[in-house]
Structure 1
């Protein structure tokens, strides 16, 4: 009951810096802000932890999968050694060395990654990008929330104006919308990761 909690303003002081209307506004806004901030923080904390763990897993797998996009010179070395052994055997047997077929692999052989490898790496790189973007936006939202509820000093009228300025700024920066999109980004990252995993399994 604000009528009993705050004394009635003197005549002509209804909009003064210390008027009851500003103190009532601060009380109501304070309850609203705390509920909103706690809800956003709980959501962001869960998403941030999951996005961090997921990014670590995908980063490890991407590091291994990306090797398929580069030439594997160990295969070239093995092919050249096999050719050398064949030549030595031909020389021992008295066979003409020129009839020994050359290796199909050499340092000048063009390298083209398979379509499956390109798909797997593409899907996982995009998945990792979405996951890292989710983590970055989660950190920014937490910083916005911390700044939003930071203490305000001054008269009730001044505090009310600053609080309203912060609330309008948060709406203009679409913080609630960004918070609502964080799970969607994370779901997209998961779907892309599983799509890449399915492609990889079909190549085994």
Structure 2
């Protein structure tokens, strides 16, 4: 755009006044850049939010199933004890001594040690789930920051609006918003990698 034709020339020694040309040009380009910047980041965060939400829901289903193997299976224990009781009744009915019936290896007093592969699988998947939820939380926080960045634009002279805009833009760098937007996909990738590692261990132990 031809800013010289769009905005009147400043008087000498008034090039930095409240309504000087430089502030109008600055705000014109800043508003276009801000709109494009926030739109691009919001689109990327929306995709990450959808993926992280779906991935977390699927991963929760896996964790709910495998975490049961970290504690004793009382249903299996009950079935084993009932089988032993039935064998004792048959032995007594046949006149055999009770000691001839083997004891059930499962009982409430028997120590329980989960399989090491199941421990690894659950540990990897719990870390993966934590990272996925953390990525979703960070995405929501960054989207709120971007919304506040674009809303509530100040009124007043164009110089005042330019200063406030520059302050907000520098605050994005100070709070590492751009680094967060770039780091959230890395967190999601690590989460997926941990899930695949746990799935590999689970399949190898079958």
Scaled to the shorter chain, the TM-score interval is: over 0.9
Residue 121 (structure 2) pairs with residue 85 (structure 1): no
The count of residues paired between Structure 1 and Structure 2 equals: 204
User: 1:163 is matched with which residue?
Assistant: 165
Aligned ranges for residues 68-147 of structure 1 at < 5 Å? 68-147=69-148
Q: How far is 1:13 from its partner? A: 2.6
- State the Cα deviation string for residues 41-69 of structure 1 (Å, max 9, x = none): 11111111111111111011111111011
Q: How far is 1:141 from its partner? A: 1.1
- State the Cα deviation string for residues 162-186 of structure 1 (Å, max 9, x = none): 1011011100111111111111111
Q: Secondary structure at the match of 1:16?
A: coil
User: 2:180 is matched with which residue?
Assistant: 178
**Cα RMSD after superposing both structures:** 1.1
Matches of 1:121 and 1:128 in 2, distance apart?
10
User: 2:202 is matched with which residue?
Assistant: 200
Q: Secondary structure at the match of 2:109?
A: coil
Matches of 1:158 and 1:118 in 2, distance apart?
59
| Structure 2 gap segments, 5+ residues each | none
Residue 30 (structure 2) pairs with residue 29 (structure 1): yes
Matches of 1:161 and 1:74 in 2, distance apart?
69
User: 1:61 is matched with which residue?
Assistant: 62
| Structure 1 gap segments, 5+ residues each | none
